[in-house]
Amino acid sequence: MTIQEFDLPARWRSLLLDNYSEAIHNLEVSWPDVQSLEVSYRDIEAFDPDFALSIVEEPENNTQAANQALGLLLSELGSPRIVAFVRIIELPSDAHRTVRQLRSEDLGLMISVDAIATKIGRVLPRTYEGSFVCVACGHSTRVSQPNEQELIEPIECFEVDGGCGRRKGQTRFVQRVEESILIDTQFIELQEPPENLRGGVQPERILCIAEHDIAGQLNPGDRVTANGMLFVRSQRKSGKDTPIFDIFMRIHSIQRESIPLEEIQISDEEEREIKELSRRDDIHKLLTNSIAPSIFGMDKQKETLMLQLFGGVASKAKDGTRLRGDIHILLMGDPGVAKSQLLSYMSQISPRGRFTSGQSASAAGLTAAAVQDSAADGRWTLEAGALALADLGLAAIDEFDKMNENDRSSMHEAMEQQRISISKAGINATLSTRCAILAAANPKAGRFQSVSEIPFTQQINLKPALISRFDVIWLLTDQPEADHDTMIANHIMTNRANSTPEILIDQGSAVDPSKSSANDGLDEDKGIVNRELIRKYVAFAKRTIHPILSSDAQNLLREYYVETRRKGGESHDSIAISARAIEGLYRLAQASARVRLSDEATIEDAERSIRLTKTWRHELMGENFDETTLQSGKKATARNRERIVLEIVRRIHAETGDVASLNDVLTEAGRSDISRDVAEDLIDVLCRDGRLMRPGGYETLQPV
């Protein structure tokens, strides 16, 4: 049954009166801060299914009728001057499209697109109805402006309305802006989300127009569901229209995905399954085993990665300081220990995960790029980079050490403050990068030298300031060990044997094993949880569980920190642990409680956090963990020798009041067990660093 156009305002009126009378009262009070009334499609469907269908099929007539009905209701309430809009949200699933699926038959329908806002233009006024004055006689004519790309002028000054009757060629028309109706307009570019892209495909984009109160609501990197109507404009070549059209979308309403991880829908049944899983005693072990099951061993590393997925709780202090909840992990390892595999698995399993590789990532690609916009007269706009798009998720950065020095410096603020301040091309903006960072780095010399003066953290090409921002640093060395090697070989052989050839999957003669196992949920035989369920588990835990530490757990962490501080290191300037480590311990304990879906982190969680921290610290530096070594890039023995040589030169200089001779210094150094060669090298380095000088040639030394 088709609904007549003249019948629409009456239907809208009764629908709004039945379901939204309170909302209309609220709108009247809060106008002009709020100018829209959001109406759910489900309510319209419950009210009248045929009417609901007509909205999808004839959106233009319906939106006009709806706004007209709302205006009338508001004027009856005694506010005739309020201009408000009805925004229809929550369209049915058959109206959902991806940007890639838009076709000519969608034109004129109300459709819904899930996308990420990548480019945001500025909000500009546009003529909605123009008032034009005839230069010859001064008569004004009003012309409605449906096209946002060209201004339509009157054809003639009509005599019927009291004009002079001259046509467009005989007179000129000037637009009176103050008498015209102007509305806010903004161009927005939407891009399809990365999670449903097939390999090697560029994400498709569509240019949208947002008008009235929707203009200016979005930021680059926001995930949205945009509802609206498609329209076309002819492509122009050398000043002429061609028969090929560009598709645009006029946005009718926007549903902001303001709640993090909202794009992952969890059904009631899945929620039950998640809660049931969380009650298992071995839930930590189960989830640890489920992370990259094709990679053998690495249990401790996988356990921290599992905690990184859940993360701690980000919170705000009373003075406005933001305390980050995300756990950053650095994997330093020899080539071939499956670092990249772990990273790529983590970026796929994490809600809103992103994977980039060092050489191909620039500062602009990670943070945000200022791009010249061809559509809007070459103005500069911001395009969000990988970290901004992974907001509230995980960013995996492989080959972290191969990035340019300048590009890596943009990571400092993104990791600790979890935001990026951008000042480029006259744009000053701050984007959130509330994501956990998982980075992998290889040693400069190809493999780690365990017997070396240089600490492990200095054997990779990263600055100490950046290394200290990681909560957990794993050292993965490739050491031969007969039993372990046999197990790895068996594991890889079994994995290869049970895999399916890719060409058969492409031809359709074999089932993609990753897809068929995606819906299994819990695999009891292997003792693992599938990817899909882990994603939902993590999203559910992050959304609903915000643990705080019990007083016992807090005491345990405090004691560990104070005790470790007291032990000190092997040198007088050594620090065994820095205050940053407490934050890391706290976050790990919170994440451990989140895995159990518990609102309180207990002693057990604090113990897990301490055990993992002790393990990575021990693997990185052995018994005497020395924070100063991390920060200075020199082991304690090397720092002690430098100090001894400097003191010898100072002492001789003070005693004689003259420059010290090189031989005297080397002899003294020999008494302190520093060999001649080592002492000479040290003196060269100290002179190069500007801490010693040679006033009278090579043989003379003097402190600076």
**Residue located via tokens 């807090």:** 554
Q: How far apart, in whole angstroms, are the C-alpha atoms of residue 364 and residue 392?
A: 19
The reply to whether 439 and 380 lie within a common domain is yes
- For residue 353, give the DSSP letter: E
Answer yes or no: do 373 and 333 share one domain.
yes
Q: Write down the pLDDT at residue 583.
A: 87
Domain carrying residue 210: 99-256
With bands split at pLDDT 50, 70 and 90, how would you rate the model's confidence at 200?
A: low
Q: Are residues 41 and 171 in the same domain?
A: no
Choose the weakest-confidence range: 57-61, 405-409, 549-553: 405-409
Tally Cβ neighbours within 10 Å of residue 529: 23
Please indicate, yes or no, if residue 195 is contained in any of the structural domains: yes
> Which carries the bigger pLDDT value, residue 347 or residue 573?
347
- Please compute the mean of the pLDDT values over residues 321-349 and round it to a whole number: 85
Count, residues in the chain:
704
Same domain membership, residue 229 and residue 175? yes
pLDDT for the residue 385? 76
pLDDT digits (tens, 9 = 90+) for 445-475: 777 776 556 667 667 777 877 888 888 888 8
Does the residue 277 lie in any domain? no
Contacts of 291 (CB under 8 A, 6+ apart): 302, 305, 306, 342, 345, 346, 349
Distance of CA 32 to the CA centre of its chain: 33
Domain co-membership, 642 together with 580: no
* Same domain, residue pair 596 and 641: no
Report the pLDDT value the prediction gives residue 92, as an integer from 0 to 100.
87
Residue 366 lies in a domain: yes
> What's the pLDDT score for residue 608?
92
pLDDT confidence tier of residue 227, bands split at 50, 70 and 90? very high
> Final residue of a domain: which of 90, 120, 140?
90
Query: How many domains is the chain partitioned into structurally?
Result: 5
* Residues 198 and 346 grouped into a single domain: no
Q: Both 605 and 652 in a single domain?
A: no
The sign of the torsion formed by the CA atoms of 459, 463, 468, 470 equals: negative
Decide if pLDDT at 3 tops 70. no
State the pLDDT confidence band at 259, using cuts at 50, 70 and 90: very low
Residues 596, 607: Cα–Cα separation, whole Å: 15
pLDDT score at 258:
45
- Cα 534 versus chain centre, distance: 19
Q: In angstroms, rounded to a whole number, what is the distance separating the alpha carbons of residues 641 and 678?
A: 9
Average pLDDT over residues 41-62: 87
Amino acid in the structure at residue 530: N
Do 148 and 238 fall into the same domain?
yes
Q: Tell me what pLDDT residue 70 has.
A: 87
Boundary (domain end) residue, out of 606, 628, 650: 628
Give this prediction's pTM.
Answer: 0.66
Task: Please list, in sequence order, all residues whose beta carbon lies within 8 angstroms of the beta carbon of residue 522, skipping any fewer than 6 positions away.
Answer: 273, 277, 528, 529, 530, 533
Asked whether residue 679 is domain-assigned, the answer is yes
Q: Is residue 176 predicted with pLDDT exceeding 70?
A: yes
pLDDT: is 450 or 236 the higher one? 236
* Residue 552 pLDDT > 90: yes
Confidence of residue 570 (pLDDT cuts 50, 70, 90): low
Residue-level pLDDT at 516 = 61
% of residues, the chain, pLDDT over 90: 6
Asked if residue 353 and residue 309 are part of one domain, the reply reads yes
Q: What percent of the chain has pLDDT over 70?
A: 87
pLDDT classification of 603: cutoffs 50, 70, 90: very high
| Backbone phi, psi, residue 349, to 5° | -80, -25
Name the token pair of 437: 């960072």
The mean pLDDT value for 380-400 works out to: 79
pLDDT at 300 over 80: yes
Residue carrying structure tokens 């127009």: 209
Residues 211, 330 within the same domain: no
